[in-house]
């Protein structure tokens, strides 16, 4: 259950961030509920993740790292933002880092 809560926090944070981009600096007001609701849900789900006993260093590290990687990919898909080979390598390093954090926490 803890990992599902964390996954939900990550997904809602990415949705909120991509909605913020879609709002064009809050000029397109129809995106504001997705921005506010997404960030609220993300922090609420992260709070529940921590309440389940996941250490904050692990939860926040994974939440932030996955959020960065998924937002970069989502921005490429939805907004045609650049995604260079160097950025792809960074995303791969994020994935390795998250894996190492999880493996280190298991001990």
Instruction: Read off the pLDDT of residues 51-93 as tens digits, 9 standing for 90 and up.
Output: 999 999 889 988 998 999 999 999 999 999 999 999 999 999 9
The domain of 36 spans: 2-105
| pTM higher than 0.95 | no
Cα(32)–Cα(22) distance, integer angstroms: 10
Q: For 7-21, 71-85, 93-107, which range has the lowest pLDDT when averaged over its residues?
A: 93-107
Query: According to the model, what pLDDT value does residue 27 have?
Result: 84
- DSSP collapsed to 3 states, 32-87: HHHHHHHHHHHHHHHHHHHHCCCCHHHHHHHHHHHHHHHHHHHHHHHHCCCCCHHH
- Structural domains counted in the chain: 1
User: Counting every residue, how long is the chain?
Assistant: 107
Cα(19)–Cα(33) distance, integer angstroms: 9
């Amino acid at each position: 259950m803890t990992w599902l809560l964390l996954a939900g926090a990550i997904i809602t944070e990415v949705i909120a961030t991509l909605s913020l981009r879609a709002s064009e600096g809050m000029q397109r007001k129809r995106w504001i509920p997705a921005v506010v609701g997404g960030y609220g849900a993300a922090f609420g789900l992260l709070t529940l993740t921590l309440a389940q006993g996941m250490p904050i260093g692990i939860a926040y590290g994974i939440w932030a790292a996955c959020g960065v990687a998924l937002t970069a990919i989502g921005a490429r898909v939805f907004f045609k933002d650049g995604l260079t080979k160097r950025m792809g390598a960074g995303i791969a390093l994020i994935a390795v880092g998250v894996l190492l954090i999880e493996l280190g926490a298991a001990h």
